[in-house]
Amino acid sequence: MTLFDTQTLPEATEAGTPRADVVVRTPAPAARTGTFLSVVVVAEGAPAEVERDLAALDAVVSAAYPVHEIVLVLPGARGRIAWARKLAEQQANMQVLGLVKGVRDEVAFTAGLDGALGDIVVTARLGVDDPEDIVRCAGMVSDETAVVVGLNKADPAGRRVALRLSRALASRSMGEEIATVSLGLRGYSRPALDAWLPRRDRDRVLRLLPSISGYPCAVMEYTSGARQHPRPASSFRQVVRSIFYASGRPLRVAVGISMAASLVNVIYALYVAIIGASGDAVAGWTSMSLQMSFMFLLLSVVIGIMAEFMFQANETANERPIYRVAFEATSSVLAARDMLNVDAEAAAVRDESRTDA
């Protein structure tokens, strides 16, 4: 324990009287061992089902991770405030976040991730994803693998095809392989979340978080249960929106198209000039064609310049770091410290202050 005294002791201070000008800092208790796991779950069922599923989840998680918390997100929780507060009082190690309206999966999971405090955070759907799979996902997160995404083998064939197409489009747009764009079972390390949390549009790019974090990603196959409120067969529209928020590749495609259109207009203008010089063209056709090709050339060049400026603005707004630190290690003995003038001067200042006193 360390005491920081901010004022000189008054002459009339009774022994044992607490002082408001003393700050006491105590170390963490000895019971704080192992990994701190946060499980973010979105619940959509009735209160009785939620309580039953929470008890089953807490029993499995407690056995594997004694230091843990459960963050329960309740979309459209109006009218369930009293029940939610009572539930939080009855069950330990739990946060309850009640959202005013029913929201998309991206927003619900983002609300839970904002409040999660663990070293490892796993997102899942309560009553749908098996507690054993949640613990297995958390166990796969390590220093070498910062993000684990679940690949649900129980999805219908139509949804699997749509997710495969969405994944291919996202991989092409982000410039790297993306395992899946589904928001099922996922595990994140704290550094991976710290790379995503500062974004103001983090809910819109949550599906692409493994790519945005810049850390290695692994895939975990699992089988989930049926959702009480199934979502549409494809999240293609959400994926496309995420791509436009997270990547500048669409703007780069626009620049390429405009440059290609400019080249085509130049070739067409040369063709018109050759036909006009040969005398085989109808009167007025050459001048009109040259004017149209020249105007479309200018339009394509302007579009290319604007798209390039927007691309650079998008890259600046994303504020992606130029590198990621995987780990840090420092020697216990640093000989260079003995040669620093700063330490010597600081010691001299301390000695002078003691002399003046």
pLDDT in tens, 105-139: 888 898 889 889 899 999 999 988 999 999 999 99
Q: Own/partner pairs for 91-98, CB < 8 Å, 24+ apart?
A: 91/54, 91/55, 91/58, 93/58, 93/68, 93/69, 94/54, 94/58, 94/69, 94/70, 95/69, 95/70, 95/71, 96/72, 97/71, 97/72, 97/73, 98/74
pLDDT band of residue 338 (cuts 50, 70, 90) is low
Is a pLDDT exceeding 50 seen at residue 298?
A: yes
pLDDT at 229: 57
pLDDT at 262: 86
Is a pLDDT exceeding 50 seen at residue 9?
A: no
CA-only gyration radius of the chain, Å: 30
Contact 238, 104 (CB under 8 A): yes
Three-state secondary structure of 256-321: HHHHHHHHHHHHHHHHHHHHHHHCCCCCCHHHHHHHHHHHHHHHHHHHHHHHHHHHHHHHHHHCCC
152 versus 6: which is more confidently predicted?
152
Q: How far apart, in whole angstroms, are the C-alpha atoms of residue 3 and residue 14? A: 18
212 versus 190: which is more confidently predicted?
190
Contact 228, 127 (CB under 8 A): yes
Q: Please state the pTM of the whole predicted model.
A: 0.63
